[in-house]
Structure formats: C-alpha cells, structure tokens
Structure 1
C-alpha cells in the first residue's frame, strides 16, 4: 500500500495527464463517429431534396466523408499526445507511395469508380450490358459495381474491369426499338402481309408516335418472305409489348389467310445409273 501511495505521489501529475489525454481521445473518437453518421444521413437526405444528386454518388460520398472525418480525428489525437504530425504526414506520404505501388490494382478500381461517377455512363437502376454480363445496377462503391441479373444473381464487378469494357445502357435513352419479324409464303401477297402489320401498329397504344412505327420487307429467305414491324416503346413497356406483339402478329397473319411456311428442302437421291429420285421434306 505504501508503494502505491508513494508511486501516486511521485507520478500523479503524469497519470492525471495521461488519463486526461485518453479521455480526450475517447471524446474525439465518439464525436467523429457521431459526426460521420450525421454527414452520411445528410448526404442521403440531400439525394431526396436535389434531383441532380445521382443516387449512384451516395455510397461514394458517404464512404469518402467517413474516411476524411476519421483522418481528421486521428490527427487531433496525435496532436494531443504531442506527436509531430508534420513528420508523420511526410512519413505517411512516403509509405503511401510504397502502398500505392503494391495496391495499384485496388487504386485503379478507386480511380475507375471516380471516373464512372463523373462521366455517368450508367446510374443506379439502369439495366446495362458490360462485356458478357447483363444486369440492373444496384450500387457503385469505391472498389466494385454491384449488379443484379435477370434471374436474381448478385454480381460484384471491379470498377477497373467495367471502365475498360464497352458499356451498353438499355435504360439511358428512355425508349427502345423492337423488331418483330414474320415470314409468309412466296405465293402470298406481300402487300396483304404489310397491311396486317400496319393495322397492328396503328392499334398498339404502347408504340410511340415519334419515331413512328415502320413496316418493310427485310429479306427473301429460302422458304419465305420475311416481313418486319418496327416500333418504339418506353423502357417500362418494352418487354410486355414485345411479347404481346409476337403472339398477335402470328394470329393476325393467319387470320388474314396468309401462310407461315415451314422451311423446305429438296433432296435428290441417286439410286442407280441414270435414276434420280426427288423428295421434299421440311427442315
């Protein structure tokens, strides 16, 4: 007991100072956490108030703001303990170069993520095709872009891979053209087939007036004449309209008395000298 009293009497000022500094550190950490949460909350609310703030930016801004706040808090903590922050910053700069060389792939993902946010080839909710991957954009963070495919698969693709690939955005323009192709027999009237397609186009309310729907003969195939109906629809109406029209075009073509032929092939069989049998068969 006497040793404790003696130790306290000789080191009380140092102990109180250390305790005071430790308490300040805890307060700074607590304050940094509160401020970081408040900033993240403010950024999310700002997205709802400002239409120009893309939802894609929110995760990046939240993460960046959190890192900055904690770094500032760390500098204050080091300053409390009398650490020369200027020399530490210089040391961190040198270490940062070494770490940057070691983590060049990771840093390239960050740089690619920033470029994606500034140039905005896609936004959260857009349906895109990147390389061999297709899906809806769920999130862009510092390192990866999160996609969800048609069948509900979760895909996390590095930002550098996305930035280095061709990006096909099916949502950005707000509309999309569909091409409905139907074949009729060579003995059928082409004008009659085109009239059927024009009637369908006039009666389809989901088609846009600008650009206007078109009908045309697109090719002379082996067994049929291919007619095409082209029409534009809003993104939300594209697939329901496309599926409905494929069904309706077939039904209307047959109702008009036109034929949708099967592919035909003529087979010549040589059975003996000077003898040739000819048979026709569906492909």
Structure 2
C-alpha cells in the first residue's frame, strides 16, 4: 500500500513538473491567439482594400476577404499548437489532421458542403448583391453572400438566411438579372366594341404611363373569347425591381380604366341568365322580376 501511494505521489510530481515546464509555452500560445485575432482583422481590412483596387466583382472581393480572414486564423492556431506543445511538430499536426479528416468530414459534412457551395457561388456569380431572387418559397433582395449562407431581405423587411448548399442545388429565379422586366395584365372588353380601335387606344394609353419603358414597346393582344367579353392581354416593360413593377402596374390599371371610360369602351361584368320554374314543372320559364340583379 505504501509503494502504491509512493508511485501515485511520484506521478503527480512528474505531472506537475510537466505542467510547470509547459506553462510558458501555453501562455505564449494564448498570447499568439490574441495576436492572431489582431492579425486576422488587419488581413481582412487589407484584403478588402486590395480587392476594391484589383477586382471589379464584388463577389470575388468578398471571397478574397473571407478566405484571407479564415487562413489567418488557421495559420495562427497551428503556430500556437506548435509553441504550446514543442514535441508536437508541424508535420505531426498535419498528419493528425489527415487521420481525423474522415471523422471530421462526417461530423461537419453540412458545414463543408455549405463552404464549398459558397465558394462556387462567389466564383460563378449567378447573382450579385442587391439582386432580387426567388429561392424555393423565399423571395427578396440579396444582402450578403458569405462562405456559409446567403442572406436575403424580404419585401416585408424580414431577413432570411439560406444555407449555400440549398441555394446552389435549387432553381433560383433572378428577377433583376435583366435591365427590364415584362408584366402581363389581363383585360376584358365588351363584344360590341370595335376591337381594332380599342387595341389602338389601349396601346397608346399604356405607352404614356410613367414607369413603362418605351423599348420594348407595349403590346395588346386578343387572347380569347370570354363568357362575357373579348379577353385582351396587355404586355408592357418596366425596370426589374419589385417596387417599380408594383407601382407601375397600379398606374397602368388606373390609366386603362380612365381611357376606357373616356372612349366609352365597356368593361363588362360577368353575365348570368336565371331561369324560374313554376312549382318544379318543367317547360314553364318565367322572366325575372323587375329589379333582379343578374350580375
């Protein structure tokens, strides 16, 4: 029993001595981590300034900044490990990372997937900051593209953070990719209206609405015979931003209604015919009583 206690005592003495011996290295390693934080922020600022001077693409500038920041932290952590544990060389650390890469890959596969997808999005630039996009059921303006997620701001003022892997593998509708965007607006006119005259009036009216672009020119097509009207489709172009499309559509509707009233072009309500049967006897049809709403 005495020998066991003596052995435990010697082990504790050796452990304490090892800790005391390694204490300067550990303190120095902690100091290196604090210094790494300063160097990483400095590297990030330098990369931002350099990217603005050298690269025209905002996405590539963002990629350069983020990779520089991450690389500074990785280098600082590796250096701190070498200082804190002198017996553990850089080659041993790299080997340890290689042995643990499979386990790390399984544990952090979603993180790595988002990381790679973010790099590909920043390199390929299918969309840019400020673009308005639709991803799955989310729609809004892109605020930031990081190496982990894409942030969009909805039209209601909400922020949506979408993992890059979802953005990369999902269909993305970029609403502001082109300099102009078309809106299709349906309108029905009475069957007794001269069709050619009505179309000419509608085209001229739409062309004068603020927000409607002169090129391409507005168009009005007859698309079918409705139950109570000739169905027309008014097509015009605006700037692609959502606010431009929405506000211009309101002005177009107001202008078209005013033009139809001035030109005496009726916009008919749906018409229904009602048949009245006497006591369920078939064959007796009576006209509706005066004042009955047939709409």
Does 2:125 match 1:116? no
Identify the residue that residue 42 of structure 1 maps to in structure 2.
Answer: 46
**Structure 1 residue 142, shift from structure 2 partner:** 2.4
Cα distance in 2 between the residues matched to 1:278 and 1:110 = 73
**Structure 1 residue 23, shift from structure 2 partner:** 6.3
Structure 1 residues 133 and 96: alpha-carbon distance in aligned structure 2, compared to 1, 3 A threshold: same
2:156 to 115, 129, 151: 151
What secondary structure is seen at the aligned counterpart in 1 of 2:238? strand
Identify the residue that residue 25 of structure 1 maps to in structure 2.
Answer: 29
1:276 to 285, 288, 295: 285
**Structure 1 residue 145, shift from structure 2 partner:** 1.4
**Structure 1 residue 220, shift from structure 2 partner:** 1.5
Does 2:248 match 1:241? yes
What secondary structure is seen at the aligned counterpart in 2 of 1:188? coil
Cα distance in 1 between the residues matched to 2:119 and 2:55 = 20
Identify the residue that residue 137 of structure 2 maps to in structure 1.
Answer: 132
Q: Which runs of 5+ in 1 are unaligned?
A: 1-10
1:77 to 76, 80, 87: 80
**Structure 1 residue 63, shift from structure 2 partner:** 3.4
**Structure 1 residue 263, shift from structure 2 partner:** 0.7
Cα distance in 2 between the residues matched to 1:94 and 1:60 = 29
Identify the residue that residue 4 of structure 2 maps to in structure 1.
Answer: none
Cα distance in 1 between the residues matched to 2:195 and 2:65 = 61
Does 2:94 match 1:89? yes
**Structure 1 residue 51, shift from structure 2 partner:** 6.1
Cα distance in 2 between the residues matched to 1:100 and 1:152 = 36
Structure 1 residues 256 and 151: alpha-carbon distance in aligned structure 2, compared to 1, 3 A threshold: same
| Superposition CA RMSD, Å | 2.6
Does 2:238 match 1:229? no
**TM-score, reference length from structure 1:** 0.83
**Structure 1 residue 239, shift from structure 2 partner:** 2.8
Identify the residue that residue 170 of structure 1 maps to in structure 2.
Answer: 175
Cα distance in 2 between the residues matched to 1:146 and 1:208 = 31
Residues paired across the two proteins, number: 268
**TM-score, reference length from structure 2:** 0.80
What secondary structure is seen at the aligned counterpart in 2 of 1:261? coil
**Structure 1 residue 171, shift from structure 2 partner:** 0.6
CA deviations on 1:53-93 (whole Å, 9 max, x unpaired) are 22x45554433222211221223233334222212211112
**Structure 1 residue 105, shift from structure 2 partner:** 2.3
CA deviations on 1:144-175 (whole Å, 9 max, x unpaired) are 21111111122111222222211100011121
Identify the residue that residue 8 of structure 1 maps to in structure 2.
Answer: none
Cα distance in 1 between the residues matched to 2:263 and 2:143 = 46
| Contact 2:150 2:163 survives alignment (8 Å) | yes
- Out of 175-184 and 233-242, give the one that drifted further: 233-242
**Structure 1 residue 129, shift from structure 2 partner:** 0.7
Does 2:74 match 1:66? no
| Contact 2:60 2:123 survives alignment (8 Å) | no
Structure (1/2) with the larger strand percentage: 1
